[in-house]
Amino acid sequence: MLREIVLDTETTGTDAKGGDRLIEIGCVELVNHIQTGASFHRYCNPTRPVSQGAFAVHGLSDAFLADKPLFADIVEDLLAFCGDAPLVIHNAPFDVGFLNAEFARLGAAAPPPIELEAVVDTLQLARRKHPGAANNLDALCARYGIDTTRRTKHGALLDAQILAEVYVELLGGKQTTLGLTAVVSSATSALALAEAAGRQGPRPFRNRITAKERAAHAAFCATLGGVPIWRDYLAEADPS
């Protein structure tokens, strides 16, 4: 079973390093690329004003956010919902930058920062599949015929739900039911992606192993004792 979390945020502005803060987080659960109906949604009091530019995008005012909990008060619920599932984000450096900045403000209670190489960035997927075309969320919805009439302003949960639909299209097509239909659709999608890759030429390998995973593997190897036999083959392959 493949569990993924599609995530989106809204913020006070665009500069996480300059002090802008998260004000809304929306997450949608996918299992085998199908929305399960499980979701996470919270507003946060940023303890600083929302910029006029950001307000024009999402419509979340200082007055509306004044009585909302701090990020520190909702982070445990967020982490519990996400678990160890991979995150799916559109333009991941933006949202990950804000999440890691919020984590850093927690001090000793901070969880480990999110590593970008462990995130599925749908913007990068779209750029590979549609090079030279507009690949923002609105453009992708128009390309794939995804209904956005319910979306008058940007909202984290609604955008996460829409992004989940876009993500499935980027993988090759809609999967709406569990069971054999989903398996057949998944296999068809994989074949379509493989054929597309063959037409476009080989793509560079993307290392999805994180530094934490490499350290855990090294720690496990240290418990085996002696010299594992596969290191002989590694030595032959790389005499240096």
Domains, in order of start, for the chain: 3-204 (3.30.420.10)
pLDDT at 163: 97
pLDDT of residue 148: 84
175 Cβ neighbours under 8 A, 6+ residues apart: 32, 33, 34, 168, 181, 182, 185, 186, 189
Q: Which residue has the tokens 């009585």?
A: 67
In the set 33, 130, 154, 217, the catalytic residue is 154
pLDDT value at position 229?
60
Which of 51, 26, 46 minimizes the C-alpha distance to 38? 26
33 noted as active-site residue: no
How confident is the model at residue 82, as a pLDDT?
98
pLDDT digits (tens, 9 = 90+) for 174-232: 554 343 344 334 444 444 444 444 444 444 434 456 677 777 777 776 776 666 665 55
In angstroms, the CA 164 to CA 116 distance is: 19
Q: Look up the pTM and report it.
A: 0.72
Number of other residues whose CB lies within 10 A of the CB of residue 7: 27
At residue 81, does pLDDT exceed 50?
yes
The pLDDT tens digits for 5-52 are 999 999 999 999 999 999 999 999 999 999 999 999 999 999 999 999
Determine the Cα–Cα distance for residues 147 and 168; give it in Å rounded to an integer: 15
Q: What is the pLDDT of residues 141-165, one digit of tens each?
A: 999 999 888 776 688 999 999 999 9
Q: Quote the longest CA-to-CA distance of the chain.
A: 66
End-to-end CA distance of the chain: 40
